[in-house]
Amino acid sequence: MTELDRRSFLGRGLATTGGVLASGLAIETLSAHAAWAGAGRPAADPRESGYGPLRRMPARNTGEEYLALPAGFSYVVLSKSGTPMTDGVATPIAHDGMAAFPGTRRHTVRLIRNHEVRTTPGSPVGRVYVEGSRRYDELGVGGTTTLEVDLRSGAVLRHFVSLNGTIVNCAGGRMLYDRGWLTCEETTAGPTQGWQRKHGYIFAVPLDGPAPGSPAPSPPLTAMGRFSHEAVAVDPRTGYVYETEDQSGTPDGFYRFRPSDPRDLAKGGVLEMLKIRGVDGYDCREGQTMGARLPVEWVRIDDPDPDLENGATTCTGQGLAKGGAKFNRLEGCWYGDGSVFFNSTSGGDAKNGDPPNADGYLEGYGQVWQYVPGRRDGGTLVLVYESPGRKELDSPDNLTFTPRGGIVLCEDDASSADADPHPLAPGLTNVNRLIGLDPRRGQPFEFAVNIADECEFAGACFSPDGSVLFVNNFGDSVSLDPPGRTYAIRGPWHRGPL
C-alpha cells in the first residue's frame, strides 16, 4: 500500500501534529528509563520525583476529596455515574477509555468516553441507552458518551449518549485524521450468553454526527476481528490499525488491520497477528531484555469473524497456530513518531503473586512495548519498559503521551495476592495511581493517587492545547457503587516532566 497523502496528514491540526512531534521526546523518555533500569540502579521511590510530594485535595466544584495531587494542581469533577445528561439519560457506569478532540466552539474540547458496562442483557442498571435510537443490539448495555467542555470554566456544555447497543466497551483509539473514535468491545459474548447479536467487535463513533438524542447507528467492523478487544492505534502514514487483546488467563495477541480503504474501514481488509520472525510461539511475557530489537513478521487471520457459537477457532487460536507471539493482558495503545506503543498489563519477570494462568504463566507487574513498522519488512519489536515491582508501577492499563513529551500510565491493580496500600489513602488495600515517566532521568514518579476507592484510572488524555489532563475513575461495572467519575486536572505543567 502506498503512503497516504502527506499533505492531508500534516494538515490534521495543532492537537494531533503537536502530539506526534512531542512523542519523539517520549521515546527518549522510555529509552532513558530502559538505560536507567538496565544499569542496575535501584528502583527510586516514585513519591520523591516528578512534581514533588502529593497531598489530598478536594475537587474545586464539589468540595469532596477524590484525588491526591502535587502542590499547585487542582481538579473538577465533570460527570458522575447516575447524574442526568443533556439528553435526559442518566450518566452510565464504568468510565473507561477516552479521547479529547477540538470542540465545536472556541475554547472547548469534545471528549468521547467508553463505558465498560458488564451487567446482564437489557439490564437498566447504569445502561448506555437512548429510547427509540438505532443500535446494533437491542439488549446492549454498553457504548459511549460525549462531553463538550469549556476549558476556561470547566463547565460541561453538553453531555449525551453517542453510541449504544454494544457491550463491555473498554478502550479504543482515534480514527484516521481524527475523524472520530474507534470503540472496542472487550468480550466475545453472543446469543449463547443471552445477547441478541454477536459481540467482540470495533465500532466507529464519528466526531461529527452524534447529538443529544441521536446516537451514531454504527454497525460492527467485523473484518477488524472478533476477539476481546482493548485498544487501537492508527498509523497515519499507511492507515493500518494496530489492535491489542485482553482475554483473562490465556495468551493474547497483538494485531494489525490493513484496510482496503483507510478512509472507510467498513470496506474490509486483512487482519494479521504479530510473530517474531523465524520463531513459532515466541513468549514476550517474561525473560525479555529491555532495548533488544526483535524482528517481526505477520501471520494472517483467515477467519476474522469466527462463528464461536458453533465451534469456530478464535482469532487468537488461529494466530498462535501459525506461530504468533504471546503476550499477557495487552491494553493501552498509542501511535507516535513512527512507532506504536502498547502496554502488557501483567507481563514481566517480577511476579505479583496471583495464581498461574491456564498455561502456567505467572503474571508480572507490567511492560511497555514499542513496535516500529518496517518499510521493506515486518518491522521491529522492542521492550522499552518493564516494572520491577508494585512500588514503581503496578499493572499499567491505558497510556498517553503528553504534548510536552512526557508519558502518563494509568494503573489497574488487578492483583488479588499483593496488597498495595498508600499512606495518602488510609483504609484502602489496592490503591491505583497515575504514574509519569521523567524524560530527564527515566525514573517513574507518582502524579496522582485515587484516594476515593480502589478503582482503576482510565482514559487519560490531554486537551488539544495541553492545558488540561482528563482522566476517568472507572467506578464499578455492574452497579452505581462506587460511581464512575471524569476529572479535569490543570496546573503548572511546565514545572515538571509532563
Peptide bond into 482 cis (omega under 30): yes
pLDDT of residue 437: 79
C-alpha cell at 347: 507481563
pLDDT of residue 6: 26
pLDDT of residue 58: 98
Q: How far is CA 189 from CA 186, 195, 309, in A?
A: 9, 8, 9
The band of 27, judged by pLDDT with boundaries at 50, 70 and 90, is low
Query: Could you give all domains of the chain from N- to C-terminal order, each with its CATH number?
Result: 6-495 (2.120.10.30)
Mind listing the pLDDT tens digit for each residue in 143-187? Answer: 999 999 999 989 999 999 999 999 999 999 999 999 999 999 999
Claim: this prediction has a pTM higher than 0.85: yes
pLDDT above 70 for 440? no
pLDDT of residue 209: 85
The band of 404, judged by pLDDT with boundaries at 50, 70 and 90, is confident
The band of 26, judged by pLDDT with boundaries at 50, 70 and 90, is low
What is the chain's mean pLDDT, rounded? 90
* Lowest-confidence pick of 204-213, 284-293, 386-395: 386-395
Mind listing the pLDDT tens digit for each residue in 320-338? Answer: 999 999 999 999 999 987 8
pLDDT above 80 for 45? no
Mind listing the pLDDT tens digit for each residue in 455-488? Answer: 999 999 999 999 999 999 999 999 999 999 999 9
Q: What percent of the chain has pLDDT over 70?
A: 89
The whole-angstrom separation of Cα 470 and Cα 463 is 7
Mind listing the pLDDT tens digit for each residue in 104-138? Answer: 889 999 999 999 999 999 999 999 999 999 999 99
